[in-house]
Amino acid sequence: MKKIFNYTIIGLLAILLTPVSLFSQDDEAKVEDKPVRTPFESGILIDNQTSVVPEKKTLELLIQHRFGKINANGVSDLYGIYAPAANIRMGLNYTLLKNLMVGYGITKKNMYSDFQIKYTILEQTRKNTIPVSLTLYGNMAIDGRNKEVFGLEYTAANRLSYFGQVIVGRKFCDWFTLQVTGSFTHYNLVEPGYDHDKIGVGAAGRVKISTQSSIIFQYDMPLKIKSISENKGFDNASLPNFGIGWEAFTGTHAFQVYISTADGIVPQDIYMNNHNDFLNGDMMIGFTITRLWNF
């Protein structure tokens, strides 16, 4: 009788627990694998775009400033802060659809007006169903200087340059994110001895040191590829762009201060026309401010 009672109890427990187990498995299967939280705090990191696109219907104000070279005049111009060669870009970006952003900006150097678009195809997920993010970025810039700059055979197309980039990134843990990039630059008109096209690669990342602060870094390298180069000797080859700095984030604001090599801000200008060598100390202090509004 005791055995029958024990078997009955075991049977009832099995009947009761089996559906619970099945239901819990079903619930787990239904849990959505969401994108990782804030791989970067902003859509831009020093000179590089990141995989981040603000939420739909978000307007972003962007101010990028680059002072003069630290090693040019030393303390006489406060290490470039009061140098006349400072460069600045102001831009507005708007997220039209989920993961799709468009924007416009104007830059002091060459009075570039740039129209840009960025789309995140893949977002890294928390359970690593998708292990990396994949983003495409492109722009068209219009050189706004007087037409005399372009020579006697001037046409409006001479002002145009183009930039396209693939961005692959991964948030490895709560405090470290890294991305690598591949890019293509084209200028319709260049000075003699320069190339019209340039392929480049790069890397950028952040190391989070507190809830609101991070160390940020970047390295961009224009490649010397003879098959697409008109200047086989690479006499006027663009040099790598290195930058390192600090970022603070408040929720709607991101503030970055850094030292960087290139005096350009528009990406095609950086990859095509950077002749500053960070190994010689050709660095500039810069800062970037972003502000978000949601409509």
pLDDT digits (tens, 9 = 90+) for 102-161: 999 999 999 999 999 999 999 999 999 999 999 999 999 999 999 988 888 889 999 999
Give the pLDDT band (50/70/90) at residue 85: confident
Q: Is the pLDDT of residue 1 over 80?
A: no
The string of pLDDT tens digits covering residues 168-188 is 999 999 999 999 999 999 999
Percent of the chain with pLDDT over 90: 69
**79 Cα distance to chain centroid:** 27
Q: How far apart are CA 280 and CA 234, in angstroms?
A: 20
- List all residues 6 or more positions away from 195 whose beta carbon is below 8 Å from its beta carbon: 228, 229, 230, 231, 272
Q: What's the CA angle centered on 128, arms 125 and 130, to 5 degrees?
A: 65
Element (H, E) at 18: helix 2-30
Enter the tokens of residue 97.
């659809």
C-beta separation of 181 from 163 below 8 A = no
Average pLDDT over residues 200-212: 95
pLDDT tens track for 255-275: 999 999 999 999 999 999 999
Predicted confidence (pLDDT) at residue 6 exceeds the cutoff of 90: no
Write down the pLDDT at residue 172: 96
The residue among 208, 215, 214, 222 whose CA lies nearest residue 261 is 222
